[in-house]
Structure 1
Amino acid sequence: MTAIRAAGLYAYYGTTAAVNGLDLTVPTGSVFGFLGPNGAGKTTTIAMLTTLLPPTAGRAEVAGFDVAGQAAEVRRRIGIVFQESTLDLDLTAAENLRFQAGLCGLSRQAARGAVSAMLDLMDLSARGATPVRHFSTGMRRRLEIARGLLAGPQILFLDEPTTGLDAQTRAAVWDHLERLRRERGVTVFVTTHQLEEAEHCDRIAIADRGKVITEGTPAELKSVIGADLVALRTEDDTRARAALAERFSLAAEPSPDGLLIRVADAATLVPRLCTGLGVTVREVNVAPPTLDDVYLHHTGLAIREGETGPPALGDLGEGLR
């Protein structure tokens, strides 16, 4: 089944197309990564899918409902975690969740049960009575995810959920997201420009300049590269490069760290290089294809951070009721 379907989506800010004919299909119950640099249209896409921003053109359905014509039905079935924190730091964790429960229309009895369940799910039960300003950044992020899940959404949207977190805390957040999918069957739609984070997703769509340029599982996307990267340092890289071409029919690219070679089976090749190159090998490093390689392959550029773009999703949040 399909949780999200978009066809020919466009969104303009003035004369600039932030989303430029985007097509997207997200399977129900999956963790779907929407990957791309800042300015690729990720936040604007989420704004349209969550009914915060009407599409300029095209059509999108979320949980089977049209985002333009059935916005209220869409909103009843989704949760959102904004890129920027919107917690009230002077309230406790439980008070933040109870306030959200009121906005969602939950009865007092239902709110009590939901708040307790969400604090437990995010391992925050022991800190429910603690003011949020005393929380670490990671704990605040987990509380925001709990708030997004409070009303039992079918689909949870997260816009750059681990921005500003250290590696250990990012890993903990992803463990919780996987638990959500496994235990509750929630479809998780997450935007990120962290390539290593996309490895956690069942499927990934890579976007650039407002449109999807490729899509698949992490393994499928990396199979397009289809080769290991061998970094080779020798006593004479110029001689080594010539020997690689002559003896092994391999084209090597010079780099600040030595020579770079793409090969299908590095485990077999490296011992042969060390014994048959005719030049002393000082260091060899082997790396399998990465999603960074995939991005470079499809765009010709490294993923770019720090680009300017449309307003953050949190800036549009006042439209969500």
Structure 2
Amino acid sequence: MIAELEARESWKRRDYSAGYTQAGHAAALAIEEGDEYRWWKMVLLQAECLRDQGSIQECRELAAKLSTHAVSASAPDLGARAYILLAVSLQGLGRLSEAVDAASTATNLVAGDFENVYLHIQAEQALIAALAESGRLQAAWTECLVLQSLLTDAVDEDTAGKAYWVIGNVAFLTHRVKEGSKYHDLAAEKLSPSRDVDLWARFNRGSADMRLRAQLSDGATLRCIERAELATEVVGGSERDLLEMALVRGHWYYLTGDLDSAVSILAPLRSRFDVLASQTAAEASFILGKAMMEQGNDAESLQILEEAATLFDTAAATERSTTVREYLDSVQQQQRFLQGG
């Protein structure tokens, strides 16, 4: 029990390396005592530490192990916890169809169970995120309506804030711009930098990303970017956090017409694509390719745009891949026309 408390305290302090090691020690002690349930809890904590420090592949391996374990099958809430973590890690690796399946399993385990409403909310969020990333936007919006129905007055502010954030994301992606802004405003009201600076950084970065995808290069978007950059600087952040922040800033420069700044920020990301999810790397390549194309660097930009389409295919984000290929076709047709072909 002492080893477990030490591990949880390290996790709360964001000392994920220490938390992982201490949770492993507690898990070993639990096995010695024949306590599979306590072992399961500590391995779950190890997986959460791996997720939070950006070790997504290792997190997936532990989450997959837990999801098929007998302890997970012993109660719906335990199974849901394992499958939610599995879904999040699969999404982080760009394995979107598998992430949808895992999140769907989690929602089915706890749907309609008031005692597990918080897990149902988390499962819906994981499902919506995976559906949206894979381009299944109508299905994602349908799940958003389910999620909204779970947000009663009994739900705490942080949980409600995260849920409104997810709903706003899908609203932006489905061109419901006013609704997207409304839900993100609700999220901003519920979330607080004084309670969790890291969450505040991730929310503002995510909100900026969605606004940029909706072609909103206004003052509200810039404020989101600046808040995210400041909060990320305060809390530190993993390498993935810093790369995603750079992508958002690069996208802002592209939309505001500062092509040189966009390219200077986005081009170095290509050497670190192994740290990012496939679909995130694909977005970076797509924006970089368009920026270089507009600079007149045709040959290299075409190569980078092909890279973007391939990365979207890898992530099973077929609609985004189609968007890239349509852009490529239009560019190549224009070039043939200008050449008299």
The TM-score with structure 2 as length reference comes to 0.28
Greater RCO, 1 or 2 (C-alpha within 8 Å, sep 6+): 1
The TM-score with structure 1 as length reference comes to 0.29
Rg larger for: 1
Q: Say which structure is richer in helix.
A: 2
